[in-house]
Amino acid sequence: DDTEEAQVITETIVEKVELEITDYQLLYNKLYTVASECNKSLVTVTGVKSDIDWFNNPYESKGQVSGLIIADNGKSLLILADKKAVEEAEMINITFSDGTQAKAELVGTDTTTGLAVISVSYELIDQNTLNLVSLAKLGSSNAVSLPGSPVIAIGSPMGNRGSIAYGMLTSVGNTINVVDNAYKTMTTDIYGSTKAGGVIANMKGEVIGIINMNYNQETTANLITALGITELKKTIEKLSNSKQIAYLGIFGIDVTQQANEELGVPYGAYVTDISIDSPAMQHVIQSGDV
């Protein structure tokens, strides 16, 4: 047999690349480009209400939070914000990313999540501003690959309007039990303000979390934490359509397969506690019920 076995020789060439300061700057420039696009869907929401001081002098108090443009109903822009700044406000002002302002109206609030939706009529928005702003792109907060992913915090993560911070997600599976619901929190390694607001976005510029520092532990009080956007979408949709959020008034956990098989607990929501004067209490629902 004259056939000779061919010997394949693979040559590996390793090129040594030295990174410069300009490469580091280029990376941050690209991150800032993503953040800038996200910022087009962010606004500053200012709630104004009148009050009286100790000497019976009238004055105006203002509460400011970051807002997210979530929808366009053909007549107005709908904006998601923290309800604490707008719920009892006599007047609501919106400041867009280009600095222009417009008056807004409250559409609905949700006590459980602390969120509110407000609307701004097209008639009150300058056309140049309308051309500049954009609706937020909502991503998913349920992907198992999220921990360790790079993220951008925008809005007011440092406590002041327009601040930006970069970091990564450290965990996404922490669950907080609230009245009639449970939500997953997303924790980052970004050190921010305990009064931080705004959103968490991924590298595609998609919003994956709404910053909420209310559930942080004392040891992690300054780490930027958010509620996952996926579990908030139904609430946001109801608020945007002026639908009331059903209220029962229970705290509970899902009955697991193990509890069902070993303890005979029927599947459902196991009640761990109830709110005082809630419909649940009025209808004699109590801890231990399913």
Per the structure block, which two tokens stand in for 275? 């709110």
Residue 103's pLDDT is what? Answer: 95
Q: Give the model's pLDDT for residue 6.
A: 55
Instruction: Give the C-alpha separation, 204 to 184, whole Å.
Output: 21
Position 218, amino acid: E
Residue 215 has pLDDT above 90, yes or no: no
Task: Please report the pLDDT score of residue 37 as a whole number.
Answer: 94
pLDDT, tens only, 32-51: 999 999 999 999 999 988 77
Residue 144 φ/ψ, nearest 5 degrees: -70, -15
Q: Cα–Cα distance between 174 and 181 in angstroms, integer? A: 14
Q: What is the pTM of this model?
A: 0.82
User: 22 in helix, strand or coil?
Assistant: helix
Number of CB atoms found within 10 A of residue 43's CB: 28
CB 163 within 8 Å of CB 156: yes
Look at residue 143 and tell me whether its pLDDT is greater than 80: no
pLDDT, tens only, 249-288: 998 888 889 989 988 899 998 999 998 889 999 999 999 9
Predicted confidence band of residue 184 (pLDDT cuts 50, 70, 90): confident
In this prediction, what percent of the chain has a pLDDT beyond 90? 56
* Average pLDDT of span 114-125: 94
